Amino acid sequence: MQQIQIYDTTLRDGTQSEGFTLSSNDKIRIAQKLDELGVAFIEGGWPGSNPKDVEFFERARNMQWKNALIAAFGSTCRVKGGPEDDANIKALLDSQTPVCTIFGKTWTLHVKEVLLTTLEDNLRIIEQSVAYLKANSKRVIYDAEHFFDGYKADSSYALETLQAAIRGGAEIVVLCDTNGGTLPWEVECIIRELKPALNHPFGIHTHNDSECAVVNSLTAIREGAIQVQGTINGVGERCGNANLISIMADLELKMSYKCLPEGNISKLYDLSHFVAEVANITPDEHLPFVGKSAFAHKGGVHVAAMRRSAKSYQHVEPELVGNKMRVVVSDLSGRGNLLSKAEEHGVEVEDEEVLPVLNDIKELEARGFSFEAAEASVTLMLKRQEYGYKPPFELVDFFVNVEHRQGRGIFAEAMVKVKVQGELLHTAAEGNGPVNALDNALRKALLSYYPQLADFHLSDYKVRILDSDHGTEAITRVLIDTRNSTTRWSTVGASTNIIEASWRALADSMEYGLMVAH
């Protein structure tokens, strides 16, 4: 199997994405994960551009890297100058990385209107910059910026820029679709035309402005590229870079290429979510291969087929990339969705017993409930159909009062009346709001019977107004996330009364937690 070099630029090109910021420590943590995955190159940043990148390279040079080589990124030397006294080139050398990646201009428009120099001087600075780094014992990768636009404008000159880098000693030249506007058949045609004249190892670096970054990268590899540059989750400037997660999965699972150590493709799901977590951004759960929705099945017809053959609606086994198949319950569900959910949570119900639950779900979703993100509520509905199931408590009444008092301000008080093991309990509690007061009162009533409730924590409370054109009479959906030391679960309620919606979600969260924590 042919080996493809994975060159990760999440720590440099990825941080040019709006809203994606990494500290020096964040970069070290992500670099360690990338090294553990087994990528060939990790581009740490531009050492001359900011103190964070300088710190990263200082720390990285004293660390042991098992699989990856650390690369520093920069540009060719300045126009009409030389590399020996160029501050950018000096910063690259000072980073003490084994690899230096520099970019230069390919497009005549950039040479004349951005660099404001001649075509000949641009070739000189490319060749001399590469040669100087090479003479200082660096492995040099040359990124041909705007290569495809440059080739379309003047194919002969674009080739000359690559040959200048090769004369200087670049071990690989990388064809960059910097503006992200090239289409797959153009990539294919240009590379096929270029290869006989190039006769040198080349790589590919694409951006996603036309939603073609991944397919352009795969096309280039099919045409002979031995290195692919990109970022984890496709983060990057404007619309992002090529998503290395999808590229690595496609290469190994679909195209018979090798790009990672044996078995490491199963780490992709964890890596994708780790990078999002470190960057403090919400993971895109609709990403191919690694999103939680990538193997989530919602339609009743799909799930019915999946129960007979998992291959019927999945292009690969989710476990191969560290993901898992999920069944989503909604008003589009059939009996198969609920039977799968019952099996998943160990609920013993017969085929005919799920029909009342299915009908209830369809009716409740029509009234504003949404069970896709509230699996605990679905599980409870199924559990209540199980023969012999007795709920841990039964609601009789509740009362909530919110008032303002002089010198105290706004406060809430709740009263609940519940039946537990045949005994009627009547308790009250205060809180900083009506839901908090209800939570406190319910816990107060149940804690002596169920001490494990002390380990339950309400971790999130989401409210959504469903039909805002109805003003204060609108239906309100409440989603409550609860956790204990080992598990997290979500429950839902909906009503024109926000307190009723909150109570239903809250009561379900307690009942589900007691069911799984006994």
Q: Are 219 and 184 in contact (CB under 8 A)?
A: yes
Query: What is the percent of the chain with per-residue pLDDT over 90, rounded to a whole number?
Result: 60
CB burial readout 333-347, b (16+ within 10 A) else e: bbbbbbbbbbeebeb
Band the pLDDT of 187: cuts 50, 70, 90.
Answer: very high
140, 103: one domain: yes
pLDDT tens, residue by residue, 94-119: 999 999 999 999 999 999 999 999 99
Which amino acid is located at 35 in the chain? D
Examine the domain organization and report whether 254 and 314 are in the same domain: no
Q: Please answer whether residues 118 and 148 qualify as being in contact, where contact means their C-beta atoms are separated by less than 8 angstroms.
A: no
The count of domains in the chain is: 3
User: Of 261, 288, 323, which closes a domain?
Assistant: 261
Answer whether residue 266 is part of any domain: no
- Residue pointed to by tokens 């429950």: 491
236, 328: one domain: no
Residues 360 and 320 in one domain: yes
One domain, residues 216 and 252: yes
Domain boundary (350, 383, 416) is at: 383
Please tell me which residue, 214 or 514, carries the higher pLDDT value. 214
Of 84, 31, 38, 37, nearest in space to 61 by CA: 31
Q: Would you say residue 341 has pLDDT above 70?
A: no
pTM: 0.75
Domain end, chosen from 261, 279, 304, is at 261
Higher pLDDT, 513 or 211: 211
Of residues 259 and 282, the one with the higher pLDDT is 259
- Name which residue leads in pLDDT, 371 or 136: 136
Residue 377 and residue 398 share a domain: no
Residue 42 and residue 103 in one domain:
yes
Instruction: Tell me how crowded residue 415 is: count the other CB atoms within 10 A of its CB.
Output: 17
Identify whether residues 238 and 304 lie together within a single domain.
Answer: no
Residue 144 belongs to domain with CATH number: 3.20.20.70
Residues 430 and 314 placed together within one structural domain of the fold: no
Statement to judge: residues 304 and 212 lie in one domain: no
502 found inside a domain: yes
pLDDT tens digits, one per residue of 35-63: 999 999 999 999 978 889 999 999 999 99
Whether residue 106 lies inside any domain: the answer is yes
pLDDT for res 165? 98
Same-domain check for residues 357 and 420: no
Q: Are residues 376 and 401 in the same domain?
A: no
pLDDT tens per residue, range 407-443 = 777 888 999 999 998 899 999 999 888 888 999 999 9
Asked if residue 288 belongs to a domain, the reply is no
Range of the domain at 304: 296-383
Residue 274: inside a domain, yes or no? no
